[in-house]
Amino acid sequence: MSNIVKIEHLSHKYTNSWAIRDINIEIGQTGIVGLLGSNGAGKSTTMNILCGALNQTEGNVYIDGISMREQPQLAKQQIGFLPQNPPLYMDLTVDEYLNYCAGLRLVPKDKMKQAILEAKLRCGIDHFSNRLLRNLSGGYRQRVGIAQAIVHRPKLVVLDEPTNGLDPNQIIEVRSLIKEIALDRAVIFSSHILSEVQVLCKDIKMIENGRIVFSDSMDAFNNYVEPHSVLVAMENPPALAEIEKIEGVTNVDVLTERQMRIYFNGDQSITERIVAASIHHGWRLREITLDKTALDEIFKQLSNKSPQENN
């Protein structure tokens, strides 16, 4: 089976500085690929070129074997794109907006009604057909944004920070939707949040300082970055010995009176065990997040490796 995406020696320069340099990526026909990188690493530049919104300085992009440079319209017909800020028109209803998007995507008029219905059903928004976009919650606006990205049945869907700004319940719902969409097409999921990519993706492409510093499976990445750590804040924190009893915890550092850094062995279910222990013992957990310092260190370590070491 041929790859849906092939990027060869892609580079782009803004004025006198290179935003990305010698990017090489291949992506299969189905599944979710994570594009991970810190802010300013080159993710958005790569995605804008991939989707035909920006002309590269050097290199080539092929979508289902079609050159983006030589046949841009034909290549773009295979792509659905959701930018970080969904391009919604708040004074339109869901149906009006999706009709407009389907027209932009050159969906034939005799097939437009069915295509819009399929997109609404898949994204769980069919009961909001006549609702103004401004009256939808953040989570449902994001669903509408995803619906416009799939209304023309593309072979590739590119999602830029699709869970950004959503509450925990909305994040879970959007994750489930993305997994469903990826069953019959390829999805590129871009994020600067490692935990988001770990939950959704089987493969990962990591960009830092404009270059690919890691390209492999998520299992390989998780093995490389162990151990992980999380930042935890509690109103009624226990003695360190109590935290260390939690399965998977390897070490604990006290940061403030109510905050600590908990190191663990790489098992991503550690957060669930910490939450359960807090509820059981009355620790009054207030916050639990991936340690940003740890993620920065991962980027630094991978950036210092040669490209051959990451392939």
pLDDT tens track for 206-222 = 898 899 988 988 878 76
Tell me: do 58 and 106 sit in the same domain: yes
Please state the rounded mean pLDDT for residues 53-65. Answer: 95
Assigned domain for 151 exists: yes
- Give residue-wise pLDDT tens across range 25-46: 999 999 999 998 877 889 889 9
Measured N-to-C along each axis, helices 109-123 and 138-150 cross at an angle, to the nearest 10 degrees, of 140
Question: Which of 68, 53, 73, 52 minimizes the C-alpha distance to 6?
Answer: 68
Q: Bigger pLDDT: 113 or 310?
A: 113
Question: Which residues are CB-neighbours of 256 under 8 A, at least 6 positions away?
Answer: none
Tell me: do 94 and 129 sit in the same domain: yes
Cα separation of 271 and 249, whole Å? 10
Measured N-to-C along each axis, helices 94-104 and 109-123 cross at an angle, to the nearest 10 degrees, of 130
Domain finish residue from 223, 242, 269: 223
Domain finish residue from 223, 242, 258: 223
Q: Bigger pLDDT: 20 or 208?
A: 20
Tell me: do 218 and 238 sit in the same domain: no
Tell me: do 73 and 158 sit in the same domain: yes
The pLDDT, as a whole number, for residue 305 is 54
The pLDDT, as a whole number, for residue 95 is 97
Question: Which of 277, 278, 279, 246 minimizes the C-alpha distance to 263?
Answer: 246
Please state the rounded mean pLDDT for residues 90-96. Answer: 97
Tell me: do 118 and 239 sit in the same domain: no
3-state secondary structure of 283: coil
- pLDDT above 90 (res 282): yes
Reported as a pLDDT band with limits 50, 70 and 90, residue 78 is very high
Residue 285 sits in a domain whose CATH number is: 3.30.70.100
Query: Taking the alpha carbons of 164, 168, 170, 175 in that order, is the dihedral positive or negative?
Result: positive
- pLDDT above 90 (res 188): yes
- Range(s) of the domain holding residue 51: 5-223
- Give residue-wise pLDDT tens across range 228-251: 788 899 999 999 999 999 999 998
Q: How far apart are the first and last CA of the chain?
A: 21
- Give residue-wise pLDDT tens across range 130-169: 999 999 998 899 999 999 999 999 999 999 888 887 887 8
Assigned domain for 300 exists: no
Tell me: do 119 and 90 sit in the same domain: yes
Q: 41 near 207, Cβ under 8 Å?
A: yes
Q: Which helix (H) or strand (E) segment is 158 a member of?
A: strand 156-160
Please state the rounded mean pLDDT for residues 281-308. Answer: 69
Assigned domain for 304 exists: no
Reported as a pLDDT band with limits 50, 70 and 90, residue 311 is very low
Domain count, the chain: 2
Assigned domain for 297 exists: no
Give the DSSP letter string of 8-65: EEEEEEETTEEEEEEEEEEE-SSEEEEEE--TTSSHHHHHHHHTTSS--SEEEEEETT
Tell me: do 246 and 98 sit in the same domain: no
3-state secondary structure of 35: strand
- pLDDT above 60 (res 227): no
Assigned domain for 302 exists: no
Tell me: do 171 and 261 sit in the same domain: no
Q: Is 109 exposed, middle or buried (0-12, 13-18, 19+ CB in 10 A)?
A: exposed
The pLDDT, as a whole number, for residue 309 is 45
Residue 33 sits in a domain whose CATH number is: 3.40.50.300
Assigned domain for 310 exists: no
Tell me: do 203 and 263 sit in the same domain: no
Please state the rounded mean pLDDT for residues 190-206. Answer: 84
Tell me: do 145 and 258 sit in the same domain: no
Tell me: do 114 and 126 sit in the same domain: yes
Cα separation of 257 and 89, whole Å? 47
Reported as a pLDDT band with limits 50, 70 and 90, residue 289 is confident
Tell me: do 134 and 276 sit in the same domain: no
Cα separation of 1 and 154, whole Å? 17
Assigned domain for 76 exists: yes
Q: 144 near 125, Cβ under 8 Å?
A: yes
pLDDT over 90 percentage in the chain: 61
The pLDDT, as a whole number, for residue 308 is 41
- Give residue-wise pLDDT tens across range 248-275: 999 898 888 899 989 888 777 888 899 9
Assigned domain for 78 exists: yes
- Adjacent-strand bridge partners of 159: 82, 189
3-state secondary structure of 234: strand
